[in-house]
Structure 1
């Protein structure tokens, strides 16, 4: 076994790799950006080294810097995790040149599978079926538009060097093609440094099924069964499971054989995933699946494979990198029970799944014999705008699919996150959705059921507001009583007590609030039992908690039924008087970077017209005009980093 490992990654995957490495007796070396100096993975490693500022381009993507640290620390190998440099052939080659083992496939295999167009041509020669489309080198918009017409809509534009849904757009009609192409190319350039795309036929009722493969340096190649990753949004996986619902031994054998042949075609070594798209209209069939791509690394969803096989895939990676042969043959691969994984993200489903950043004021993750949690953060940590906003992966297993889903549903109900908004309530509804439970779903299921899943703007929850207001009142009373006691000890009058006391009439006052940034007045009454709060739709008395309450720098975060409501006392001094009536004010919806500005000062725009694009976590978010008018102030331009709520520009309404 290799003696030490440098983990060239961050977050939960760095934690995951470090824990297995330490179990195997390896010395662990972390590298971190300035934003991650106090991160969990840094604290867990035997030693840690700074590699640069927060942006990944200046830290986690700096090959030379990481190799310098590896040499100085005496690292025997480098594990790249997933994302960042994990599929960069140049990194694998640089490790080899430096005499450091790269825990992954040879650079040649990464190159062969790293470009989707070349990979499809390669596996097609090996007899693996591929999706019809244009996989050539020409990139002129007119040419690609013509190819899309020949293929027939709907089509899928995909980044040649892509993965993780970045640089991918579905196009349903010709009028949408040019804008989708430009957006996909821009996102691909930002995420992978390569704007090239391919155009494929979009398979109707698609199921996304992938096969986990492993190969050693002795010519042995096996697969570890399949995973279903069909529950996606914007081509990003949300829930994954193993085995795939409706999978038959015949289809598993055919798909597994195709995956193994694809790996053999490139002389693969290590862990990899061969991804297929299947036509799910008539169930999974041996003649209705096609190769999409091969990810030459460990996958985010690898824990579900570990759950049904009992294997530690990171340990297998280390053993193969050490030169050992695979410890089992294909006939020995277990498949026991069922496992499901949900990705808990810091994002707001009610606002288009916008990333949500900030301090984790509270974090309580589920426990249990049939529950596993892979997390990269703890309470008190920060979710920054610089990296993927994943908080944790929650994995549940059971003897049957139903048992696994029931366990996951309970686990999500026990999850508490305060600070950034999360998709916890959305995940819970998704796991309990009848069509998902019945196995009658495809990759379009989430987008077709956003309202039923709660992923649309929701009405304010009166009970949460009342609970938050009551908490603020109780805190204020406690502080006032302590102040009064202190004053009494110094001989002052008891009439200084600020508890709402009065001699005549109802003891009632108005409490001005900010609820998720919006003004609302609560009415507080006092009687012998203490204060009670009344707002439209709810009345709550002290001693009647209906939610989890978390203090957050003077505000109260109210967690109820998976949703978070921020309740604060209204401060008139915080009002932006300059733009109080600016109905055309366009703000940044999240922390991020302005990557495009499509208008100039004085230009007339229509309501709904695209104005700019803000990028966060490598995903693009368009900003549109809230009203018709002309562009007034422009406060931010391309390249500017902006905070959530920051003014981008103002549309001045037309008079008359």
Structure 2
């Protein structure tokens, strides 16, 4: 209404001195775009879409999980607006909200915005229109920075270990749900955890990870999971000398897991969907978000097949034949 009066030549109803400044706010625009490729617009299906919901946080969005971001419209997914009593408080809320803004199915700028919000210059308020150009070496992956590349790889390897532990734990949960009588109705080998006398069951899973510090390259992370009698998992990668991570996982519900690793308990969110003969897996833990792929329908190696079957099944005796008669 005031806009109409001003357009008609009437004076503003309030002067600047009558408008107090209360608190501080940030707005972050969430886009479907490929940051490493020059912020090119991206398209795809929102297979998983979770927005933060807390006091002082507003999300303006016109999409929901299952919708498609197409080439025919602006690739903006949402506007994230946070408010605090001062800039520092609002910035803390912005970082937390970006950490809890989860999108799976297409690339977004969420990780970039989070990296920007955590930059020391942004925290100090040294922001102007050339901010990204001035600090591009900090904001974008640089293959020449071996220290950052090593940190990124170690973080991805740890996340991959947590992913496989969560996936296996969810498989056991679903298996138990399909057999209401519990694991007693299942063959011993498929109990949770798998059990065989004088033998610890093992399983190998390969995950593909896009290494942002090696442009256009993806790395295969081969993880070996050893089941422990107490339900924990020992997870190691094929690299010589790589650390062994002991993980205890609890499947809470939907996408939520509670994971204990290295004596620290954390809540983890996992989203997965299938596309183009691949299983796509996203993991969120605190400020970390990683994306992996796993080929669907891979044939087990002979070693893996023998490990996943009881001895009688691994032998050459035809099905239904009698070995011994007592």
Instruction: Spell out the pairing of 1:517-556 with structure 2 (5 A cutoff).
Output: 518-532=219-233, 533-535=235-237, 536=242, 539-543=245-249, 544=259, 546=266, 547-553=268-274, 555-556=280-281
- Residue segments in structure 1 that go unaligned for 5+ positions in a row: 2-212, 221-324, 574-656
The 3-state SS of whatever aligns with 1:530 is: coil
CA drift of 1:572 comes to 4.1
Query: Structure 1 residues 559, 386: closer, same or farther in 2, change over 3 A?
Result: farther
The 3-state SS of whatever aligns with 1:366 is: coil
Query: Structure 1 residues 555, 411: closer, same or farther in 2, change over 3 A?
Result: closer
1:446 equivalenced with 2:102 (yes/no): no
CA drift of 1:530 comes to 1.9
C-alpha offsets along residues 343-371 of structure 1, whole Å, 9 cap, x if unaligned? 12223434543444333233332344433
Partner residue, 2:171: 476
The 3-state SS of whatever aligns with 1:452 is: helix
**Quick one: distance in 1 between partners of 2:230 and 2:171?**
16
CA drift of 1:465 comes to 0.7
Q: Aligned to 2:158, which of 459, 463, 480?
A: 463
Partner residue, 1:328: 13
Q: Does the 8 Å CA contact 1:336/1:399 hold for their aligned counterparts?
A: no
1:347 equivalenced with 2:33 (yes/no): yes
**Quick one: distance in 2 between partners of 1:382 and 1:345?**
13
Partner residue, 1:62: none
Query: How many residue pairs are counted as aligned between the two chains?
Result: 256
Query: Structure 1 residues 399, 493: closer, same or farther in 2, change over 3 A?
Result: closer
Partner residue, 1:412: 98
CA drift of 1:488 comes to 9.7
CA drift of 1:563 comes to 2.1
1:568 equivalenced with 2:294 (yes/no): yes
Query: Structure 1 residues 479, 434: closer, same or farther in 2, change over 3 A?
Result: closer
Query: Structure 1 residues 405, 215: closer, same or farther in 2, change over 3 A?
Result: farther
CA drift of 1:482 comes to 5.9
The 3-state SS of whatever aligns with 2:158 is: helix
Partner residue, 1:428: 114
**Quick one: distance in 1 between partners of 2:103 and 2:172?**
27
C-alpha offsets along residues 472-496 of structure 1, whole Å, 9 cap, x if unaligned? 222333455567779999xx98357
C-alpha RMSD of the superposition: 3.8
TM-score by length of 2: 0.63
CA drift of 1:394 comes to 1.4
CA drift of 1:525 comes to 0.6
- Residue segments in structure 2 that go unaligned for 5+ positions in a row: 144-148, 211-217, 250-258, 261-265, 300-326
Query: Structure 1 residues 376, 501: closer, same or farther in 2, change over 3 A?
Result: same
Partner residue, 1:497: 190
CA drift of 1:402 comes to 3.4
Q: Does the 8 Å CA contact 2:31/2:77 hold for their aligned counterparts?
A: yes
Query: Structure 1 residues 382, 541: closer, same or farther in 2, change over 3 A?
Result: same
C-alpha offsets along residues 245-277 of structure 1, whole Å, 9 cap, x if unaligned? xxxxxxxxxxxxxxxxxxxxxxxxxxxxxxxxx
The 3-state SS of whatever aligns with 2:114 is: helix
TM-score by length of 1: 0.34
**Quick one: distance in 2 between partners of 1:395 and 1:374?**
8
**Quick one: distance in 1 between partners of 2:58 and 2:246?**
37
The 3-state SS of whatever aligns with 2:77 is: strand
Instruction: Spell out the pairing of 1:217-616 with structure 2 (5 A cutoff).
Output: 219-220=8-9, 328=13, 330=15, 334-337=19-22, 338-454=24-140, 459-460=152-153, 461-480=156-175, 494=187, 497=190, 500-515=194-209, 518-532=219-233, 533-535=235-237, 536=242, 539-543=245-249, 544=259, 546=266, 547-553=268-274, 555-560=280-285, 561-572=287-298
CA drift of 1:470 comes to 1.4
CA drift of 1:463 comes to 2.0
Q: Does the 8 Å CA contact 1:344/1:390 hold for their aligned counterparts?
A: yes
CA drift of 1:334 comes to 2.5
Partner residue, 2:321: none
Q: Does the 8 Å CA contact 2:116/2:122 hold for their aligned counterparts?
A: yes
Instruction: Spell out the pairing of 1:141-152 with structure 2 (5 A cutoff).
Output: none
